Amino acid sequence: MKARVWPFIGAVAVLALLIALPDILRPYYVGLATRMLIFALFAMSLDLLLGYAGLASLGHAAYFGVAAYTIALLVLRAGVDSGIAFPAALVAAAIIGALFAPLALRARGSYFLMITFALAQVVWSVAFGWRSLTNGDDGMPGVTRPYFGWSLDNTTSFYYFALAVIGIAALLLFAIVKSPFGRALRGIRESESRMQALGYNVWRHQYAAFVLSAFFAGIAGALYAYFNRFVGPEYLYVVQSAEALIMVILGGAGTLLGPAIGAALIVFLEDFVSSLTEHWVLVLGVIYVLVTLFAPRGLIGLYVDFRQRRALK
């Protein structure tokens, strides 16, 4: 009974802390917390593909960036209301995922990794090169935040908006991975041939996971466009995909909670290290090597191993 109660108590405590955060921290750190939440959702969306379906992608920034650019293009070029642009951005991310999935799912392992990377680079090159539409590497500033009866222009109000949206998205992700569909994905990750022998349509499950992963990445990308009030090609760049991958690996793939923790740590380290040096990507590479060598199952895996060692004493 206690084993079931403690996670619930922990979740309530974390939620209470997140709600009280703007009253505790200065606006700059509230903004940093908002970034942590956005990238936590981004990492969890990738974990659905990597940790549960067993498909390591190096092109996840494509869906993040497509959603952000959809917001910017609709608001700044078409004059669409920012609130209406939000669901359109999620649809755009899901459509790109649906188009890319049949191409990527033809391969496995490192080949899948490279195909997703190549597809994301195609999207990046369009955003970078089509200057008349996207302003190229100058980006698109001036993205307005949606208005739902209250202003989201100040740091605190946008934090609560992002917290609500990300909270709902996280609950949906948890429901998905705990559902029969999520259990089937874990089975496919362990052995595709066995699941096929049991009558499961492996390709259909992987395709659905791919599109769902793109959809949730789109939510994070749309929120990030609102947060920065700016969209640029770096949203689609390979470094963004690599960061998401390291967030998942650092926290622990296949847990959802682990990638969220990994995202918070990476965002915090990026903010801290960037104030000391411009070579953040080098530091990111060092983090990846250290995690791979000393914590291949991530921080959650280290915690589980620690609990098991204590139980054996």
Q: Region 100-104: what's the mean pLDDT?
A: 95
Cα(231)–Cα(128) distance, integer angstroms:
11
Question: What pLDDT digit, counting tens, does each position of 221-260 carry?
Answer: 999 999 999 999 999 999 899 999 999 999 998 888 999 9
Residue range of the domain that includes 94 = 25-237
Long-range CB pairs of 155-158 (<8 Å, 24+ gap) are 155/22, 155/27, 155/30, 155/31, 155/34, 156/22, 156/27, 156/30, 158/34, 158/226, 158/227
pLDDT of residue 93: 97
DSSP helix/strand/coil, 253: coil
pTM (predicted TM-score): 0.93
Q: Region 40-57: what's the mean pLDDT?
A: 94
5, 217, 225, 255, 269 from 40: Cα distances, Å: 24, 10, 15, 12, 14
Q: Region 206-221: what's the mean pLDDT?
A: 97
Q: Are 143 and 226 in contact (CB under 8 A)?
A: yes
Question: Does a structural domain hold residue 254?
Answer: no
Q: Which position has the higher pLDDT, 144 or 275?
A: 144
pLDDT of residue 1: 46
Question: Does a structural domain hold residue 202?
Answer: yes
Question: Does a structural domain hold residue 247?
Answer: no
Amino acid at 78: A
pLDDT of residue 6: 63
Total domains, the chain: 1
Cα(147)–Cα(66) distance, integer angstroms:
22
Q: Region 268-284: what's the mean pLDDT?
A: 82
Question: Does a structural domain hold residue 87?
Answer: yes
For the record, the structure tokens of 244 come out as 């998401």
Q: Are 249 and 25 in contact (CB under 8 A)?
A: no
Q: Return mean pLDDT, the chain.
A: 90
Among the ranges given (10-24, 148-162, 271-285), the one the predictor scored with the smallest mean pLDDT? 271-285
Question: Does a structural domain hold residue 9?
Answer: no
Q: Region 206-233: what's the mean pLDDT?
A: 96
For the record, the structure tokens of 60 come out as 């996840």
Q: Region 57-65: what's the mean pLDDT?
A: 95
Query: In this structure, what is the dihedral angle of CA atoms 253, 103, 234, 82, given to the nearest 10 degrees?
Result: -90
Q: What is the DSSP letter of 231?
A: E
Q: Is the pLDDT of residue 4 over 80?
A: no
Q: Region 283-304: what's the mean pLDDT?
A: 82
Question: Does a structural domain hold residue 296?
Answer: no
pLDDT band at 207 (very low <50, low <70, confident <90, very high): very high
Cα(300)–Cα(121) distance, integer angstroms:
32
Helix (H) or strand (E) holding 306: helix 298-312
Question: Does a structural domain hold residue 4?
Answer: no
Question: Does a structural domain hold residue 266?
Answer: no
Residue 231 forms beta bridges with which residues? Answer: 140
For 130-199, give the DSSP string: -HHHH-GGG-EE-PPPP-SSS---SHHHHHHHHHHHHHHHHHHHHHHHHSHHHHHHHHHHH-HHHHHHTT
Residue 251, exposed/middle/buried by CB under 10 A (0-12, 13-18, 19+)?
buried
Q: Region 44-54: what's the mean pLDDT?
A: 94
Closest by CA position to 107, among listed 44, 176, 58: 58
Q: What percent of the chain has pLDDT over 90?
A: 68
